[in-house]
């Protein structure tokens, strides 16, 4: 396909520019990156983002370098603008004149948004392909490692009342600012006074119930207004209505998760409920676990691990045992670690035709379902097998012997299980022993406290776990499990050196862009260390610098 887009160029650098740049020593990082990576792929890749008409844009290859500079130094858009203006090493890397100061911080932010996740991921894959051509990864017996780390966004967790109000305010503000004039005029008649109610500290529970019920009722009325037969024709001329539909969907879900109608038949039995209340808060234990907690960041979630809460997201990092980051994903904090793994590996198999000899992970990636899914992709999972000790401290399940032929368990006293029941939810079978046999057993007090007899659970993936445990205990398995320290080091670099541990943004889409930029920078650092030996430094002697 012919690229018809023509980009801005700076023609040939002036003699004064060349003289200044020639006096600079080689930069230990940027000069090496420029000599090893060809960034021209971005000009063709991102051509679809431009029409080829009007004012010529800056070349995408130039702007990709700007985003890499931002990720390398962990700078805001404004500080990147200052960095480009005042740093000669950066100007030389960008191949712009010494007196160039044309980049505006808003341009940098808009370009990042225009490229989006798909383009950033494509750029990451192109750089990864060039590293592959340099022989930095892709060996036949190469092993990959996967792990995750929390990315906290310091999100404010609101109660049900404030959450609904906030979602309504965002929808109404978008309506008033972006809708055509006929739509705005029609919306003036909407009753929305409940959004402005502020309850004092002296308000009673009855006052709060009334305010909450009125707010929910007006929220449903606002949503119903968009479906009114007289309003629908007006919405057809609203080009930005798709964003309004997104905000409506967020509000609907928040209402469904946090409120419920009061049953009129039982209204009189609740003496503490005012007569005018139509809606009430859904009890906390009745709300879904995967509920929205912020109207601004509807994808953010809260997860608890070892009594520590993480509000926001977590970053999945897939890398080689040598330290090359192959893929990186930003997922909600409560998403299970193993959920994104198969797709991440499949992406690399599709683009590069590479399948690792083994995928290393911690116990979170060792579930049987996860092992079977990756086995179908031709991948062996090496991860610790989670043990489920008996919480009562009595006989562990390992004291019972499983007879494969008879499909029964034999207890330490030699008795056999008499019945079994399979649980699709638990993905396993519960084997039960006879009540009379257990109560008469001399080992009863050491085995169970149950008056109904002992039961033993066997997972549907028990054979997989036994094979995995046997490999983990072998010398080869022990050596493989020790290789996981590499991903811990890479996680530390992404979190602390690249700023993913403490971010200035909230949305998952923006965090994903920052994560991909950080992954590209970490890979470029790895490439410089491997391809240039000894490690480069500043050459301070003029003759050496010019030579």
Residue 265: predicted pLDDT: 65
C-alpha closest to that of 319 among 360, 367, 365, 364? 360
Q: pLDDT, tens digit, for every residue of 274-317? A: 767 889 899 988 999 889 988 988 998 888 877 677 788 999 99
Find out whether 317 and 146 touch, Cβ atoms under 8 Å: yes
**Beta pairing partners, 517:** none
At 206, list the tokens: 């009855």
Find out whether 305 and 486 touch, Cβ atoms under 8 Å: no
| pTM, rounded to two decimals | 0.86
* 3-state secondary structure at position 327: strand
The verdict on whether omega for the bond into residue 513 sits within 30 degrees of 0, i.e. cis, is no
In which band, very low, low, confident or very high, does the pLDDT at 392 lie, cut at 50, 70 and 90? confident
Higher-confidence residue of 262 and 137: namely 137
Placement of tokens 């480069």 in the chain:
536
Residue 426 has pLDDT above 50, yes or no: yes
In which band, very low, low, confident or very high, does the pLDDT at 92 lie, cut at 50, 70 and 90? very high
Name 514's Cβ contacts closer than 8 Å, sequence gap at least 6: 71, 499, 500, 503, 505
Average pLDDT, the chain: 88
Q: pLDDT, tens digit, for every residue of 75-89? A: 999 999 999 998 999
Placement of tokens 């990092």 in the chain:
317
């Amino acid at each position: 396909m012919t690229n018809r887009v023509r980009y801005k160029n700076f023609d040939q650098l002036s003699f004064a520019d060349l003289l200044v740049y020639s006096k600079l020593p080689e930069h230990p990082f940027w000069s090496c990156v420029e000599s090893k990576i060809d960034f021209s792929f971005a000009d063709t890749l991102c051509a679809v983002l431009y029409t080829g008409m009007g004012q010529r844009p800056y070349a995408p290859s130039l702007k990709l370098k700007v985003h890499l500079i931002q990720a390398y130094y962990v700078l805001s858009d404004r500080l990147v603008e200052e960095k480009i203006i005042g740093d000669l090493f950066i100007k030389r890397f960008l191949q712009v004149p010494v007196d160039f100061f044309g980049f505006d911080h808003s341009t940098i932010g808009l370009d990042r948004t225009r490229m989006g996740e798909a383009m950033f991921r494509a750029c990451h894959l192109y750089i990864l392909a060039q590293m592959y051509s340099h022989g930095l990864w892709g060996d036949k017996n190469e092993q990959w490692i996967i792990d995750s780390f929390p990315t906290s966004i310091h999100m404010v967790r609101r109660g049900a009342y404030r959450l609904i109000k906030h979602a309504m305010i965002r929808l109404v503000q978008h309506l008033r600012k972006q809708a055509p004039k006929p739509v705005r005029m029609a919306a003036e008649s909407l009753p929305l006074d409940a959004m402005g109610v502020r309850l004092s500290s002296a308000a009673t529970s009855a006052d709060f119930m009334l305010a909450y019920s009125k707010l929910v009722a007006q929220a449903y009325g606002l949503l119903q207004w968009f479906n009114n037969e007289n309003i629908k024709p007006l919405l057809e001329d609203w080009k930005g209505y798709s964003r309004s539909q997104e905000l409506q969907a967020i509000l609907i879900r928040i209402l469904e998760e946090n409120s419920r109608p009061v049953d009129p038949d039982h209204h009189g039995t609740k003496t503490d409920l005012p007569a005018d209340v139509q809606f009430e808060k859904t009890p906390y234990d009745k709300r879904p676990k995967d509920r929205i907690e912020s109207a601004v960041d509807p994808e953010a979630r809260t997860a608890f691990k070892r009594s520590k809460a993480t509000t926001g997201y977590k970053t999945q990092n897939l890398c080689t045992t040598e330290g090359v980051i192959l893929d990186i994903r930003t997922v909600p904090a409560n998403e299970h670690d193993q959920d994104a793994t198969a797709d991440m590996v499949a992406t690399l198999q599709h683009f590069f035709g590479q399948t690792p000899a083994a995928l290393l992970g911690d116990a979170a990636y060792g579930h049987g379902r996860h092992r079977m899914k990756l086995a179908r992709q031709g991948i062996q999972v090496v991860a610790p097998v989670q043990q489920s000790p008996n919480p009562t401290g009595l006989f562990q399940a390992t004291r019972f012997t499983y007879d494969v032929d008879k499909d029964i368990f034999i207890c330490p006293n030699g008795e056999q299980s008499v019945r079994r029941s399979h649980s699709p939810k638990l993905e396993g079978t519960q084997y039960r022993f006879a009540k009379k046999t257990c109560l008469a057993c001399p080992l009863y007090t050491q085995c169970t406290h149950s008056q109904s007899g002992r039961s033993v659970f066997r997972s549907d993936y028990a054979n997989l776990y036994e094979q995995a445990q046997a490999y983990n205990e072998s010398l080869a398995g022990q050596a493989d499990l020790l290789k996981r320290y590499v991903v811990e080091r890479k996680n530390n670099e992404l979190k602390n050196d690249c700023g993913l541990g403490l971010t200035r943004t909230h949305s998952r889409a923006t965090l994903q862009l920052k994560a991909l930029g950080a992954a590209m920078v970490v890979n470029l650092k790895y490439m410089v260390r491997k391809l240039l030996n000894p490690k480069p430094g500043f050459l301070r002697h003029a003759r050496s610098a010019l030579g």
